[in-house]
Amino acid sequence: MVRGVLRGSRPMRGGIRPPFKKTFVPRHPFDLTLTEVVFPKVSPVVDDSALTAALLKRNQDLSPSPTEQAAIGNLVTKVQVVLDNLVVAPGDFNTCQLEEVRQVGSFKKGTILSGNNVADVVVILKTLPTKEACEALAKKVEADLKTNMKTEVLAKGEQHTLEIHDRGFDVSNSQARVRILIATLPQNLRKLEPEIHMDHKLMQSHLAAIRHTRWFEENAHHSSIKVLIRILKDLTKRFDAFSPLSSWMLDLIAHLAIMNNPSRQALPINLAFRRVFQLLSAGLFLPGSAGITDPTEPGHIRVHTAMTLEQQDVCCYTAQTLLRVLAHGGYKHILGLEGNTSIVREMSVWNGVVVSPLKPVYEKPTDKKEGDLEEDIEMIENDNEDVGSDDATE
């Protein structure tokens, strides 16, 4: 020790030791499924056959009919044939060059909802994605579709319409729609100019959609996962608190709820449904939580960081309210088979038990903008770890 300074320690400035740098360690929320050995059940197992039957019925109601499936499939096949021909033999079409055509999204994954007859296809261009190239490709696809259909006997309403938008373009008829999403090779992304080319972030999200679909096909092909995803999608449409959850977040949480357990076997749908609310209630998607790491992105990106702090709070306390309703037999109201969504806003009574909606915990700062506070939290969390940031096609 030399003059009050430990040998090998950092010298103090002005006699004041520098502040200790706290390391951010994300925490996993309490998960009863993973800790069942430590916390064995005291009461006998509850008969969940009614909940299971309700979940399967709701899934059947939400699933597209065979007619809808056929309509979407037929249109996707026709568009895919035209695009594949442009990849192999573009002929005199030289406005842009196509590298690859990939189906993505709910239709490809088998989680599409009834009434949402939309299929997504990503077209990766070898060339830079200018707005003029997108329009030229759209008109070429429309012209080739008309040429290919000249020999067919068209049903009523089979005529195709074309709509160009900032993501690409849509080809639709009276029964279905195919959304063609434009992307480019990853090495071209840094060359994009906002005034000339299509939006850089949209191109990235379309490439991410391909990675998401590939991961889903390899890891989440179990039928129970698809059933749970369909039910969760319906919840995001009926409960505003869950609307910030993207389709990719729903895919990952459904996979986690069903497959991530000690036995590594798929959990029954009724247990997985309860587990989703348990995890969200325990803070799975709150600041400081380990959450769910995006398996398709480098850098340990936690998917819930795409939500604002207020959205994370609302999602958590709404899940807590619904978990209490579910615990007392109110599953029909949660699934939409009875009642309405007022159970998250108004007091309700279940078999003599009163369930009062919970209140927000997060308060918007008065002297600092919310965006600044979120940036501060992210800086703290990312200070010592590579922790960070979706399928925007749905």
Helices 269-281 and 223-238, axial angle in degrees (round to 10)? 50
Tokens representing residue 36 in the block: 């069942």
- Categorise residue 244: left if φ over 0, alpha if ψ from -120 to 50, beta otherwise: alpha
CA distances from 29 to 270, 289, 290 (A): 21, 7, 8
pLDDT tens sequence across 162-186? 999 999 999 999 899 999 999 999 9
Q: Taking the CA of residue 380 as centre, how many other CA atoms within 13 Å lie in the half-sphere pointing to its CB?
A: 11
Q: What is the pLDDT of residue 6?
A: 44
Phi first, then psi: give them for residue 12, nearest 5 degrees: -85, 145
CA distances from 321 to 243, 281, 361, 393 (A): 16, 9, 14, 30
The larger pLDDT score, comparing residue 132 to residue 2, is at 132
Give Cα separations from 215 to 154, 181, 297 (angstroms): 37, 19, 11
- The pLDDT mean for the chain works out to 87
Burial of 278 (0-12, 13-18, 19+ CB in 10 A): buried
Residue 120 backbone dihedrals phi, psi, to 5 degrees: -110, 135
Rounded to an integer, the average pLDDT of 285-308 is: 93
Measured CA to CA, the distance from residue 183 to residue 125 in angstroms comes to 6
The predicted model gives 322-338 an average pLDDT of 94
Residue 94 CA, chain-centre distance (Å), reads 36
Token pair of 99 as six digits? 């590298």
Among 17-26, 231-240, 313-322, 365-374, which stretch is predicted with the lowest mean pLDDT?
Answer: 365-374
Would you say 353 and 328 are in contact if contact means Cβ atoms under 8 Å apart? yes
| 251 in Cβ contact with 109 (< 8 Å) | yes
Separation between Cα atoms, residue 190 and residue 204, nearest integer Å: 11
- Looking only at the bridges linking them, the beta strands covering 98-104 and 118-125 are antiparallel
Spelled out in words, what is the top-level CATH class assigned to the domain 67-217?
alpha beta
Task: Kindly write down the DSSP assignment for every residue of 199-211, as one continuous string.
Answer: PHHHHHHHHHHHH
Segments of the chain assigned to CATH 3.30.460.10: 67-217
In the chain, the amino acid numbered 244 is P
Task: Give yes or no for residue 285 having a pLDDT over 70.
Answer: yes
Ranges 28-42, 135-149, 338-352: which has the least confidence = 28-42
Quickly tell me which residue has 């059933």 as its tokens: 227
Q: In this model, does residue 302 exceed pLDDT 50?
A: yes
Q: How many CA atoms lie within 13 A of 183 on its CB side?
A: 29
> Sorting pLDDT into bands at 50, 70 and 90, what band is 193?
very high
What CA–CA distances, in Å, run from 132 to 122, 135, 190? 18, 5, 19
CATH of the domain spanning 49-59+221-381, picked from 3.40.1360.10, 1.10.1410.40, 1.10.443.10, 3.10.180.10:
1.10.1410.40
Assess whether pLDDT exceeds 90 at residue 340.
no
pLDDT tops 90 at residue 1: no
C-alpha 170/C-alpha 178 separation (Å) is 6
CA 15 to chain centre: 52
**pLDDT value of residue 349:** 93
Residue 253: enclosing H or E segment and its boundaries? helix 247-259
In the chain, CATH 1.10.1410.40 covers 49-59+221-381
User: Which amino acid belongs to residue 75?
Assistant: L
Percent of the chain with pLDDT over 90: 71
pLDDT at 54: 97
